[in-house]
Structure 1
Amino acid sequence: MRIYDDKHIKNIVLLGSAKSGKTTLAETMLFEAGLINRRGTVEDKNTVSDYHEIEQERGNSVYATTLHTEWRDYKINIMDTPGSDDFIGEIISSLRVADTGVMLINAQYGVEVGTELIWDYMEQFQKPVIFGINQLDHPKSDFDATLDSLYEHFGKSVTPMQYPLNQGEGFNCIIDLLKMTMYKFPAEGGKPEKLPIPEDQMAHATKLHNELVERAAENDEALMELYFEKGTLDEDEMRKGIKIGMMNHELFPVFCLSAKNDMGSGRMMGFIDNVAPAAKEMLPEKTIEGKDIICQADGPTALFVFKTLIVPNMGKVSFFKVVSGEVKQGMELLDHQSGNSEHIHQLFIMDGKNRNPVEKLTAGDIGATLKLKSTETNHTLHVKDADIEIRPINFPDARLRTAIVAKSKSDHEKLGEVLHKIHQEDPTVEIDFSKELKQLIISCQGELHLATIKWQLDNIYHLDTEFVSPKIPYRETIQKAAATSYRHKKQSGGAGQFGEVFMKIEPYYEGMPEPTEFNVRGKEVIDLPWGGNLVYYNCIVGGVIDQRYLPAILKGVMEKMEEGPVTGSYVRDVRVMVHDGKMHSVDSNDISFKIAGSMAFKNAFIQADPKLLEPIYDMEIFVPEELMGDVMTDLQSRRSIITGMDSKGKYQIIRAKTPLAELDRYVTALRSMTQGRASFKSKFAEYSPVPHEIQKKLSENYTKEDELVHS
C-alpha cells in the first residue's frame, strides 16, 4: 500500500444527526475512489463502516469507524461517527484527531437537534467545517430552507459553494460556484458531465459567485488588495482565501449531495484534496505542559492513542494518530503514562473491520496496531529518548447513573472484568464499586448508551444482568450535644468481657473552641475519607480506663460512623469526648472497649437530634427559550433551587442546585420534555439537610430493612 507524506494526508470526520447519511457518504467515497467494487447500504447491512452486529441490528452507527480513501494523489482518512450524542465519546475522540469536520445536513429537515449539540464541540476544537446538504434526491428536500436554517444557527460564515437544480426525485444537476460549471449526473450517479451554466441560472449563479469571491478575499489582506485591483479572483486565489477562512473558523463551505445516488461526493472529495488543510497545516498539537509538537516526518516519533477496541479472537486494537515523526513496524516505543515499553508488532490502516498492513506511517496519518500491553485511550507513545505527553481528550461527565447486578453470583467477578473492557473502549462509561452503597454503579450518557451496554453484556459477553435504582450516598450528623454511657459485660465461662465508657458528643465545625468541661489529655483530628471530620478527645483522668484501650474505643466509634444509626449512611462532623469509664483487671480487653465505644456513640447520636444530609449538585441546563417554562416547572418539582439564568446564542442557561435523589433518569425526562433540544451538565456541590418528612421516611425504611436482616 502506498505511503503518503505529511503534505498529502487529509483527515476528515463525518458528523451529523442520525439518518443524515454519514455511513452512506463514507461508502460512496470509497466507491468513487475505486477502493470497493460495489456500494453497500445500511438497509442491506453490508457497508464497510457499520459492520458491528449491534449497528446492523439498530440500523444506526454506535461506534466511530475509521476508513480511508485515495483521491488524486491524496489520502483521505475518514472517521464515520454516530449521530446520537449518547455516543459523544466516539464523536469527540474522532474530532480530536481529524483536521476537518464534514457536517451532513438532511435536506428534508435542515439543522436538527444532533447538529446543534455536535456544533458545541466543533467550536471548542475550532476545526475547519464543511457542510454537506444531503438527500437532495428526496421528494421533501428543500435546499433553500435548509440553507436558511444554517444561516440562522451558524451565521453568515456559512458560504454556498454550490446549489442544486431539479432537487427532489428528479435531482441530477449541481451548479458549482467556484468553478462556474454545471455538473449533470447520469441516472445511476457517478461521474458527471460538465456543462455550461444554463442561461436562466447565469444571473443567480454570477451573483453567488461574486459573493464567494468577496468571502474568499476578505480572509487575507494580500487577496483583498488583489481583489480591489482586479475586481475578482481566479480559482487558485479563491481556494487560498477559502482555506484561510476555514482554518480561522470564519468560513464554512456548503456542498450539495445525494450520497445514496452517488451525486456530488466526488466534487466534495476534490475540494477536500485541494482546499481542506492537511495535518501539517493545522495548529500544532500541545503537550500537557502546553509546548507545541510540530507535525513533521523528521521529528521525534510520537503517537496519540485516541480509541481502543476489544475485538473477539483478536484482542485489543489501538487506534492512533502519528503526531510527529514516523512509526515503523517493529519499533519499540515508550508508553508515557505507564512507563512500559511497547513493541509495534504490526501496523494497519483500518477500513471498518478490514486491516490493511503497512510497513510505516508518517506524521499526520492515522493507523492502528494490536495487543499493546498497557497502552490505553489518551496515552502517548514516543521514542525512548523523548519526553512527550500529548494533551489528553477531555471526555464529558456522565449524565445517567444506575446500579447493575449479575443475576448469578458466579458471574459477579466476571461482570467487573467485562465492565472494565467496556470502559477501555468507551471512557464515557464510568464504573465504580461503591463500598458505601454496596452497589456496582454504571454512569453513562443516556438511555440509548445504557441499552448498548446491556446489549454487549447479553450478546457479546453472555452475562445475565439487571439494572436497579442506585442508592443515594447520604450523610448523617448531629445538631446538639448529648452524653451517655454504655457498659459491655459478657460472661461465658472463663475470662469474660467487660468495658464501660462514658462519652459526650457534639456537632463539630471548623474553628469551634476547645471543650472546657473536661480535662483534655489528648486530641486526634481525623479527616474522614467520605468528607467532614471526627475530632476525638481523651479526657480520662485517674486511670479509670487504661490508655491502651483508647484506640479500641476510637475504632468502635469509627465502625459506627461507617454505618450511621439513622439510615446506615456515613457519619460526619462530630467531636467525641471520652471522659470516664470502668475496666476489669481480668475481663477487660480491646474487643470489650470497642463494643462499648460503638454502642455509647450510637446511643448518644440518637439523643443528639440527628440530621440527614443529601448530596446537592450544581446544574447547568441549556434549553431553547420557548421551552424554558417546562424545564423550570420540572426543576421545581425536583426540589431544585434556581440560582441564576443566562443566555448563550439561541439558548438559555438555567443554573440550579438539585438533590441527587431527584436526578435519577433526568437526562431521559429532559429529552422527552424538549424533544431532545436541551442538554445539561452537573457536578457535585455540597451536602445539605434533607427535609424532615423525607428523613423520617428514609429512617423508617432503614429500620424495617435492618429488622428483616436480623430477624
Structure 2
Amino acid sequence: MKIYDDKHIKNVVFVGAHNSGKTTLAETMLFEAGLINRRGSVENKNTVSDHHEVEHERGNSIFATPLHTEWRNYKINIIDTPGLDDFIGEIISSIRVSDTILTVLNAQHGVEVGTEIIWNYIDKYHKPTIFVINQIDHLNAKFDESFQSIKSLVGNNAIKIQYPLTLEGAQCIIDVLKMKMYRFSPEGGKPEKLEIPDEQKELANRLHNELIEKAAENDETLMELFFDKGTLNEDEMRQGIKAGMLNHELFPIFCVSALKDMGTGRLMGFIDNVAPAAADMKPEQSVEGKEINAHKEGPTILFIFKTVYQPNLGQITFFKVMSGEVRLNDKLTNFRNDETETINQLFIMDGKERHPVTKLTVGDIGATLKLKFTETNDTLAAPNHSIQMKSIKFPHPRVRKAIFAVNTKDEEKLSESLKKIHSQDPTVAISFSKEGKQLVLSCQGDLHLATIEWALKHIYGVEARFEKPKIAFRETIQRSSTSNYRHKKQSGGSGQFAEVHLKIEPWTQNMEEPQGFNIRGKEEIDLSWGGKLLFYNCIVGGVIDQRYLPSIMKGILEVMENGPLVNSYIRDVRVMVYDGKMHSVDSNDISFKIAGAHAFKDAFLNANPKLLEPVLELTVKVPEEMVGNVMTDLQARRSMIQGIESNNSYQVLKCLTPEAELYGFSTDLRSLTQGRATFKSSFSSYQPVPTNVQKELVGH
C-alpha cells in the first residue's frame, strides 16, 4: 500500500445528526474513488462503515469507524461517527484527532439538536469545518432554510461554495468557486460540466464575489492583491479559504446527494486541494507544556484515541501519528505507566478490514493489536522522549443503573468485563456504592445502555440485569437531644461494663461552642461522605477514663455509617460526652464502643431526624414549541425552575431536581420531544426531603 507524506494526508471526521447520511456519504466516497466495486447501504446492512453486529441489529451507527480513500494523489482518512448523542464519546474522540470536520446536514431538517451538540465540541477544539447539505434531491429538501440554520449556528462566516438547482427535471449543482454548473443524470455519478445558465449568472456572480471577499479577509497578502486587482483567481481563493478554515473563521458549504452519488467527487477534490492537512495545523501542547510539531523528522509520538475489544482479535488500538514515523517492531514507551509496548502489527483499517503496512508517517491514522498496557487517551513515544498528550475530556454520564450478574457466579466476570468496556469507552463509568451495596453503571443514555448490555452478553458472555440504583441519602438531626446507655454483660469471669451520657446537636458552619459544658477536648472530623462530626470531651471528675473516649467515638462513627432511618450516612452532628460510669475490672474498649453507639442512636432518633437527598443542577435544552410538556414533566419530578433562557429556536431550562426523581428522565424526554431535546446534570447540594416523601421512605 502506498505511503503518503504528511502534506498529502487529510484526516476528515464525518459528524452530524441521526439520519443525516454520514455513512452513505462515506460509502459513496469509497465507491467514487474505486476502492470498493459496489456501494452498500444502511438498509441492506452491508456498508464498510457499519460492520458491527449490534449496528446491524439496531440499524444505526454506534461506533466511530476509521476508513480511508485515495483521490487524485491524496489519502483521505475518514472517521464515520454515530449521529446519536448517546454515543458522544465516539464523536469527541474522533474530532480530537481530525484535521477537518465535515458536518453533514439533512436538507429536510437543516441544523438539528444533534448538530448543535456536536458543534459545541468542534468550536471548543477550534477545528476547520465544512458543512455539507445532503439529500438535495429529496422532494422535501429545503436548501435555503438549511443554509440559514447554519448561519444561525456559526454566524456570517458560513459561505456557500455551491447551491442546488433543478433544471428541466435534472438535478444540478452550481459551483461558485469554479463558476461551473454540474448536471447529473437521474442515476447520479459523473456529471456534465457546463457553463452557468444566463438566468443564474447574477446570483452566481454575487456569491462568487462574496466568496472572494471572505477569502481575502483571512490573508494580508491576498487582501492587498484584492485591492490591487479587484478580484482573486481560483488558486488565490483556495489559499484564502484554507487560511479562513484554519482560523476557524470561514465555513464552506457544499451540497450533495450521497445516495445518488451527486457532488461527492467535487467534495473530495475540495478536501484534497483546500482542506488543511496535519502539517498545516498549529502545534499541539503536551501536558508538560511542550509544543508537538507535526514533523516527519521528530521523535515518534502516537496518541491513542480509541480502543476496541473483539473476541477473535483482542484489543484493537487506534492512534494518530503526532510526530515522526512508526514502524513495525518499534518499541515505544507509555509514560503514564512507564511500560514498554512493541508494535508487532501495523494496519490501516477500513471498517473490519485490516490492511498491513510497514510504517506510517506523521499525520496518519492507523491501528495495532494486542498492546498490553495502553488505553484510550494514552501517549506512546520513543524512549527518552517523555511526553503525554492532553487527554480527551469526555462528558459526564447522564443515566445511572445498578447492575448485577444474572448468575451470581459471574459477578467477578461482570466486574472485569465492565473494566474493559470503560477502558474502551471512558463515557462509561463504573463505581461501587458502599451505602447501597451495589455496582453502579453510569452512561450517556438508554441506547448507550442497550449497547453495553449487548456487549456484555455477546462479547463477554455475561448476562446482566439492571435496577434502579439506591439513592445516596444522608441523615441528620433538627434539634438537640440527650441520652444515656448502660452496657452490662456478665458471663463468668471478667464481664463488660460501660455507661455513657451524651448530648447531640445539629452542626452548622461558624456556630458557637456548646454552652453549659466543661470542654476538655475537641475533635473535628471531616467525614468522607460529606459534612462533619464534632466530638467534645466534657468529662469531669474522671468518671470515664480518657483512654475510653476514642472507643466511644468509634461506636458513634459506626452508627453514622449506617443511619437508623434508611441505613444512609449521618452528617453534620456534634456530640458532647459529659458523664458516665466505668468499672475497674469489667470496663474495656468494646464496652464503651457499644455504649457510645447505643447512646448516640437513641439520642439521634429523639432529635427530630431528617433525611437529606442529593439535588442536581439540571439544564434542559428543548425546542420552543415543546417547552410546556417538558416543564410539566419537570414539575412532576419536584423540580424548582431557576430560569429560562432563549437560544435561537430553543429554550434552555435551568432547574434544581432531586436525583431520586430523575430516574427514567432520559427516556421520557426523548419521547416528549421526539429526540430533539438534550440535558446535562451535575451535583448541587443535599437538601431536606419533604415530610410526606420521608414518611414513605422510612415507613412511618
TM-score range, shorter chain: over 0.9
Structure 2 residue ranges without an equivalent (≥5): none
Tell me the percent identity.
63
Q: Which residue of 1 aligns with 2:306?
A: 307
Q: Which moved more, 1:474-483 or 1:78-87?
A: 474-483
Partner deviation per Cα, 1:199-236 (whole Å, 9 max, x = no partner) = 44334333332332233223333323322332322110
RMSD: 2.2
1:417 partner SS: helix
Mean CA deviation greater in 459-468 or 267-276: 459-468
CA distance in 1, matches of 2:396, 2:230: 52
CA distance in 2, matches of 1:187, 1:689: 66
CA offset digits 1:530-564 (Å, max 9, x no partner): 01111223333444334443332222111100011
Contact 1:107 1:133 (C-alpha < 8 Å) held by counterparts:
yes
Structure 2 CA distance, aligned partners of 1:171 and 1:382? 54
The alpha-carbon deviation at position 407 of structure 1 amounts to: 2.1
Whole-Å Cα distance in 2 between the matches of residues 72 and 453 of structure 1?
A: 41
Deviates more, 1:275-284 or 1:134-143: 134-143
Q: Which residue does 1:578 correspond to in 2?
A: 577
| Distance in structure 2 (CA, Å) of the matches to 1:631 and 1:19 | 24
Give the Cα–Cα distance (whole angstroms) in 1 for the partners of residues 46 and 491 of structure 2.
Answer: 76
- For 1:354 and 1:171, the matched residues in 2 are separated by 37
Distance 1:633 1:43, change over 3 A: closer
1:192 Cα shift? 2.9
Q: Could you tell me how far 1:493 is from its partner in structure 2?
A: 4.5
The residue matched to 2:156 in structure 1 has which SS?
helix
Deviations 1:269-308 (A, max 9, x none): 1100000001111122122244432111122222211111
Q: Which residue of 2 aligns with 1:708?
A: none
Which deviates more, 129-138 or 193-202?
A: 193-202
Q: Deviations over 1:133-178 (max 9, x none)?
A: 222333333433433433344433222212233389x654322221
Equivalent residue letter for 1:92: I
**Secondary structure of 2:204 counterpart:** helix
Query: What is the rounded CA distance, in whole Å, between the counterparts of 2:25 and 2:167 in structure 1?
Result: 18
What TM-score, normalized by structure 1, do the two folds share? 0.93
Aligned letter for 1:503?
L
Partner residue in 1 for 2:454? 455
Deviates more, 1:616-625 or 1:125-134: 616-625
Q: Deviations over 1:168-190 (max 9, x none)?
A: 9x654322221122223455433
C-alpha distance in structure 2 between counterparts of 1:520 and 1:148, whole Å: 72
In structure 2, what is the Cα distance between the partners aligned to 1:167 and 1:660? 57
Tell me if the contact between 1:638 and 1:662 (Cα under 8 Å) persists in the aligned partners. Answer: yes
Asked if 1:146 is matched to 2:185, the reply is no
Check the 8 A contact 2:113/2:678 in 1, yes or no: no
| CA shift for structure 1 position 494 | 4.7
* Alpha carbons 1:136, 1:167 under 8 Å: kept: no
CA distance, structure 2, for counterparts of residue 399 and residue 8 of structure 1: 40
Q: Does 1:416 align with 2:415?
A: yes
Matches within 5 A, 1:630-649: 630-649=629-648
Q: Distance in 2 between matches of 1:84 and 1:244?
A: 31
- What are the within-5 Å matches in structure 2 for residues 67-86 of structure 1? 67-86=67-86
Q: Is the 8 A contact 2:310 2:459 kept in 1?
A: no
| SS of structure 2 residue aligned to 1:7 | helix
Match for residue 345 of structure 1?
344
1:401, 1:665 within 8 Å by CA — same for their partners in 2? Answer: no
Give 1:106 deviation, angstroms: 1.5
Gap regions ≥5 residues in structure 1: 702-711
Q: Pick closer, same or farther for the CA change 1:382–1:651 going to 2, 3 Å.
A: same
Written as runs of structure 1 = structure 2, the 5 A alignment for 1:209-228 is 209-228=208-227
Contact 1:141 1:167 in 2 (8 A): no
Aligned length: 700
Name the residue aligned to 2:16.
16
1:705 is aligned to none
Code of the aligned partner of 1:365: D
Instruction: State the 1:669 CA deviation.
Output: 2.8
- CA distance in structure 1 between the aligned counterparts of 2:48 and 2:453, rounded to whole angstroms: 25
Distance 1:514 1:107 in 2: 69
Aligned pair 1:113/2:119, yes or no?
Answer: no
AA in 1 matched with 2:157: S
Shift of 1:356: 1.5
After the TM superposition, which residues 465-480 of structure 1 pair with which residues of structure 2 at under 5 Å, given as runs?
465-480=464-479
Residues 348 and 357, structure 1, Cα contact 8 Å, conserved in 2: yes
Give yes or no for the alignment of 1:104 onto 2:79. no
Tell me how far apart the structure 2 counterparts of residues 371 and 526 of structure 1 sit (CA, whole Å). Answer: 47
Moved more, 88-97 or 113-122: 113-122
Distance in 1 of aligned mates of 2:121 and 2:649: 16
CA distance in 2, matches of 1:142, 1:561: 63
* Alignment partner, residue 174 of structure 1: 173
Counterpart of 1:193 in structure 2 is 192
Hey, what does 2:135 align to over in structure 1?
A: 135
Query: Which stretch of structure 1 is more off in the superposition, 335-344 or 273-282?
Result: 335-344
Q: Which residue of 2 aligns with 1:441?
A: 440
Instruction: Name the counterpart of 1:246.
Output: 245
Structure 2 residue matching 1:553: 3-state secondary structure:
helix
CA distance in 1, matches of 2:414, 2:271: 45
* AA matched with 1:113: V
Q: Which amino acid aligns with 1:437?
A: G
Alignment TM-score, normalising by the size of structure 2: 0.95
Letter in 1 for 2:274: V
SS at match of 1:119: helix
Alpha-carbon distance between aligned partners in 1 of 2:95 and 2:27, rounded to the nearest angstrom: 20
Task: Describe the superposition over 1:388-443 as per-residue Cα deviations: whole angstroms up to 9, x where unpaired.
Answer: 22111111111112212222211222211111121122111111111112121111
Equivalent residue of 1:166, what SS?
A: strand
The 10-residue stretch of structure 1 (510-519 or 312-321) with the greater mean CA deviation from structure 2: 510-519
Which amino acid in structure 2 is aligned with residue 270 of structure 1? G
Moved more, 558-567 or 622-631: 622-631
| 1:675 partner amino acid | Q
User: Is contact 1:243–1:276 with CA below 8 Å preserved after alignment?
Assistant: yes
Letter in 2 for 1:19: N
